[in-house]
Amino acid sequence: DAKTTQPNSMESNEEEPVHLPCNHSTISGTDYIHWYRQLPSQGPEYVIHGLTSNVNNRMASLAIAEDRKSSTLILHRATLRDAAVYYCIRGANDMRFGAGTRLTVKP
């Protein structure tokens, strides 16, 4: 039970923003929201995480709904190298990955 829901796939055009949604309606008050991505033949790579407030780093932004039941990962300008499977995970030590969203970036 991954406890998060994401679309199976999304497409984006290169250099355009991408908004990847995630639902986590049963999230508890102490659960963080983590995002990782995985390129083919590689292990997952950390993207960003947050608890309540929106977060920004060099890779992406994380927008968390006020009720924390959903969040959105924002890639501000998609590049071809951003094509990957993106995983939204709630929890702490024992992260439960779902099947993620496969992002395709078109040139």
Partner 1 sequence: DTGVSQDPRHKITKRGQNVTFRCDPISEHNRLYWYRQTLGQGPEFLTYFQNEAQLEKSRLLSDRFSAERPKGSFSTLEIQRTEQGDSAMYLCASSLITWAGGPQPQHFGDGTRLSIL
Residues that bind partner 1 (CB under 8 A): 2, 32, 34, 36, 41-46, 49, 51, 85, 87, 92-100
Residue 98 CB, nearest approach to partner 1 (Å): 5
Return the number of the residue (42 or 107) whose C-beta is nearest partner 1. 42
Residue 62 CB, nearest approach to partner 1 (Å): 13
Return the number of the residue (15 or 45) whose C-beta is nearest partner 1. 45
Return the number of the residue (41 or 67) whose C-beta is nearest partner 1. 41
**69: enclosing H helix or E strand:** none
Residue 13 CB, nearest approach to partner 1 (Å): 25
CA 103 vs. chain centroid, Å, equals 11
Q: How far apart are CA 107 and CA 101, in angstroms?
A: 19
Bridge partners of residue 101, in order along the sequence: 86
Contacts of 10 (CB under 8 A, 6+ apart): 18, 20, 101, 102, 103, 104
Q: How far apart are CA 71 and CA 14, in angstroms?
A: 23
Return the number of the residue (35 or 70) whose C-beta is nearest partner 1. 35
